[in-house]
Chains A and B, each alone.
Chain A
Amino acid sequence: MKNIFHIAFSYLKYYKKQTAALFTGVMLSAALLSGMGGLLFSGRNAACDNARTEYGDWHYSIRADKGQWFDKYRKLPEGGGFTVEKTGMEIVRKAISEPFGIQFVYADDGYLDMMGRTVLKGRYPGKENEIAMDMQTLKNLGVSENIGTKITLDGQTFVLSGIVSEMPEKLPELLKNADDRQVFVNSTLDYGTNGEFFYLKFKEDKMPYKQLAAFMEKYGITSGVSRNNGLVGYIGLEKPGRAFDIIKTGLSYKEAGLPYIWGQLNETGKLTETAILTALVFFGAFIICSLFKISVIRRMSEYSIMQTIGMTDGGNTAILLAELFTICLFGYPLGCLFGNLVSWLLYAQWGRIFIVQRGMYHSGGKVMAEEYAALRLPDAGTYHMNVHAMVFGFLFFSAFIVFVSIHFQAKMRRLTIRQMLAKEVKARPCRKIYSRKKRSLTGLLTHRFMFEKKSTFFGILLSLSIGSVIFLGTFYVTENTKINNELTFKADDGLGSDIQIYTQSDVPADVIPEKDVLKMKETAGIRQFHPVRYLLGEIPLNDGKLVWKPFFADVADDPSNPPDPNLKEKYNGVIVQTKNDYKLKVNIYGYDDEMLEELNEYLLEGEIRPQQMRKENSVVVKTIMDGQGNYDGIDIHPMDMLELKTISSPDMPKEALKFQGKDEWYQSKNLKVAALASRPLAKVDTFIGDEGTTEVDIIMTNEQMKENFGVEDYRTISISLDEAQGGEETANMLQASASEIKKCVMKDYRMQIKAQNLYLMQKMLFYYGIAAILLAVSLIHIMNSMQYLVAARRHEFGILRAMGVTDSGFLKMMAKEGLRYGIYSGMTVAVMYFAVQKILYYFMVHVYLYLHPQGFISPWILPVLVLVNILLCTAVTLFSAAGILRRQIIEEIRK
């Protein structure tokens, strides 16, 4: 063994260039894996910590007043198979519904700690008539925040003893009575109708779901257990078997499919993280394998000499293994150190871009706007090394090294020792004599050198191309992420504009009068001003035009998806069924020409030309989208006619919005459909709502709104400010104008936009950076491969030189070879990328629900990359060829 390591080490020392290339390959692979792993892991940790804040730091809650288990637990709180870290008790003494939902709760210190509810002022109630609550509840009750204030609830008067911090923001999502507020009372206050809830947090070094099973078994608990769903996915709160169920469901229902599976399994981004790290591990392995292969082939004759003098196959494998392992042993830890160091620095600056935004993507058709996320994201916290990824990577690379060594040895075994010594090639089947027809054989030589062994040629092409394909894929996704962010940004709640002025009311008559709009438009310092007219309307969907009946809860007849009672009461639901046909409520918008032109970015079918729309009285239909990014739920297309019904005047009674009133309350127009769009630009969500994907909008010009329905006033205005002219002053003037109009409010989004832009810029820069690193690694690999290709034929080139090929002739020949490799690899890149892009496009459209991703990468990037490949291949070949020319011919012939 010592001897084996000695020989391996001698090889490493002698072939310094190859060793350096391999070492760099291993180091960069380890750096990429550990660095990226650390960033993603830290981001997930931050997201998990944030979830603990938002949902409370607990795993399970168990009804303590059902059965005798809690007494048993109190007597013997420890057992095998579980370790309890924290416990808390919440006893709901009473719940009242007036003036709003309030729960009277006694909570012990453990519960308060788990829910992050600290006493900010005063103290926890120590007497029966004392009460403590948070500021929001105090505000809702209209009570002063002074300690000692008397508060009467359900006929009983309490003294405010303390103010506690707010309840975890998202905890209500997990509670049965989500809107109830908690007030805290003393332990002695008892109305005899208690609900006792025991909260548990196990030590997280073992899977909590396993510990829960042991806990339940020990104390005989069979029911009443609730889970903290906010933490599911970050830590093992449920059996992994759920993944199987998800896959089964996804495959069983056509409408579910891969988007459903991915969306469910990737709820906390773990699947994406695993996919990225797996891709990096394989990329690293590929680079290492490719570099090592070159190294081995170069020395094949030397290995054969070793075999000639008695080295066994096993000994040869051991040498290969020792070489690679020695490099990995030094390169891998150094790479991890380097990767983590860079990531640590990066995380300290840009940590927030790595925090997983839970539920941002696929969640039953609803896409949460990312723009909120930038401001709402928690602090990135500290950087954590992803030890798991590093260990896994090392084990994978080690196993891979063993595999590669055995594989190369097996390949060598298939050759005889003499073949290895002579580096012989197999007989060629082509018997054609070329010199009879060709005046020069150098082109033929280049061709023959390249296609000497087709599998090797394609292997080289693949290895030259794969890095570029990964780079292009990353670039493509990054570009589309940027487009998606921009489009979502513009389409959602007017965040594309600095300021939005709108009437916060569900009464049609509450509008911004035209004269006020004209006045506001004259305010100095405005760059863009887009007033929008609005009406609620209804369209008939006859003769099977409604394709996705289950999409609308009103007609889905699905107990798990009940209709919204509020919408039912106010508007008779979003959709009503009339025998076999339907009538759908729609938002009717009037846009100005500039907004309509911008709507072209969201175009699905047809054309949006404001002039034409006015002339033909045609409209744009913003249709619905399902959870897989499909838009074919309603069978309406350009050139179809629509019968649009709306109230005859904004002064109609509220009842008219149910579209069931007298005929004179309504007016109708037949309108031609000019185009289909995927999103609206400005939204009014105070009527039936406008999530952007779940409602249908009919969009026309503001002039058409006036001519068709007599609407002159506006409902919302999107305004962009000219910051150069002092945005603050303009905003103040607009605020003053808005406050003079009834129910009119102004929202200033400038801070959000600034934060969001910074966030997106950092995110894009990071991904472009990763793409650039991948490109750099692949370029190093291309250079190494091309150098090898030239070096491997030094003997043949020596013969050619001895035969009398001039230096310029030789360089010309080599340039042609490099050029051909460049062109072929460029073609391979294009073909491979075409397939990869199709997959990425599917994921972006159907899984990540990207808005209008481009079908192809920017037109310049692929040709540029192909050109870089061509130039690099040619340059490296020429560089290596020039190196050969510097050597003595006789030395080369003797090789």
Chain B
Amino acid sequence: MTKLLYLSTAILVGGTVAASANADLQKMMDDPNQWVIQTGDYANQRYSDLDQINKDNVGDLQVAWSFSTGVLRGHEGSPLVVGDVMYVHTPFPNTVYALDLNNEGRILWKYEPKQDPNVIAVMCCDTVNRGVAYADGKIILSRADTVVDAIDAKTGKLVWSVTNGDPSKGETNTATVMPVKDKVLVGISGGEYGVRGYVTAYNLSDGSMAWRAYSTGPDDEMLVDPEKTTQLGKPVGKDSSLNSWEGDQWKIGGGTTWGWYSYDPDLNLVYYGTGNPSTWNPSQRPGDNKWSMTIFARDADTGEAKWVYQMTPHDEWDYDGVNEMILTDQEVDGQMRKLLTHFDRNGFAYTLDRENGELLVAQKYDPAVNWATEVNMDPDSDQYGRPQVVAEYSTQENGEDVNTTGICPTALGTKDQQPASYSPKTQTFYVPTNHVCMDYEPFMVSYTAGQPYVGATLSMYPAPNSHGGMGNFIAWDNINGKIKWSIPEPFSVWSGALATAGNVVFYGTLEGYLKAVDADTGDELYRFKTPSGIIGNVMTYTHDGKQYVAVLSGVGGWAGIGLAAGLTDPANADAWQKAAGRASTGRELGSEERNVATAGLGAVGGYAALSDYTALGGTLTVFQLPN
């Protein structure tokens, strides 16, 4: 790549004096040569029009260059490319590097915020950060300690800084931000600490607060209008959240907002989901616990909620609703519809009309899902839109201090935050998934500010009666609610996917492979083992007219906690499932046939330890075709 040396120094960052920051940003997002926000575009499709690398030549892919981030913990998110500069972020301490693509990745500037390390101790599941965003000539970094820094994209100097939460109460941040018009949307983490979730819009110019909307509590604090805000076409009514909790529990009731955000410029609506209600012990918080586990559609200017849809009322399994909302325009029954597709932790993939929140499809995207039979689709039923819970797997029904066994999916969900991708060419979604089940025993806990507020014991194991692996990478038809094809993976797929016009789909694996598969068939076309397990998201860009694919390695996050030592030996798990089941509930647990099948999984290597395959280390790897 000596060629790069001879390139003239180009302008580092696009014009910052554009008439409208929003129009400018939209233009940059539409340009497939750049990757300016984490999700690629507002629709969260993670699709690129680039096709130099395609299904015929992707097998020739090779490493162009790599870069060590200097940080060991879990690396989520991806780099950005704005003009001729690449921006790379790290987990805590949340360092940001600006790399000069004209000069073999030389470091233009490095920004390292000073943060109190005590915040590390209140981050429930590793110190991950899902990356920076570009807007208005600034790089926006939402730090672990909830401080949001706007950094001059050219100089690396701090422009403004604002504090979004209080880590001493367990409020932290792992998410990226989404710039919209003249504002930037920021979420909050801490559902395992009883944090009351909220989303905040700050003004891009100076960091002043424009609006804040809570997930729970009084209508005015949620920016919910009892008459105008609807769920499944009906107004939510007065005190919709307050009525769904006992006493003041909503104040420590979770519904945090640590996932992804999307935006429809025509409807001027932003979309996101809220997390689990606190605690994990459902018996301690009677009611539907609104609006945890909910898809929100809010006005981008005022924050007012247009519609909501609670997917898992009164959660009993920690199925956070924070996964990304992917916006597409597709034909349904001969009519073009503005759709929103969401792969929820609870194992159902939802297709809704994003204009009014009408529920069109809700189907399981892993056949192992068993906690509910279906989502009721009858508008005349009092159960409309609600999952039909199977009593055997209800941790509420079985009660405190009872170990409910064999629940699929596990608390990590059939999919966690790792974002899916959509190709308009194939009209198919490509989804990284977990294939793991669990036992769940809730018990009484007391709340202390800034301390974990969990209240359940979990153990996890690969889905029974299956291939023995802990993950799948699937192709999904969101109109018919069907899996097109599925690639079994030994470990959960914890990396965000990328689909391209070259009919290639990329994703990373926990062992550290970057894989490329055929968008039509799922056939593997390429794999390369990077230095560490991949929990980052694949992105693509061009420089000097040539297409590159980049991904962060660095194992960690929930995957690094749950899978580092491997899951419980299913044979052993099975033995104690039976024993514990009889002892604590007096009920038999499933058929002998199932038990035998579960025990047999060991042979497939389903409980292999991730630590036998990979070790810590943050590295960026950039791929290219040979010259």
Asked whether A and B interact, the reply is no
What is the interface of chain A, defined by CB distance below 8 A to chain B?
A: none
What is the interface of chain B, defined by CB distance below 8 A to chain A?
A: none
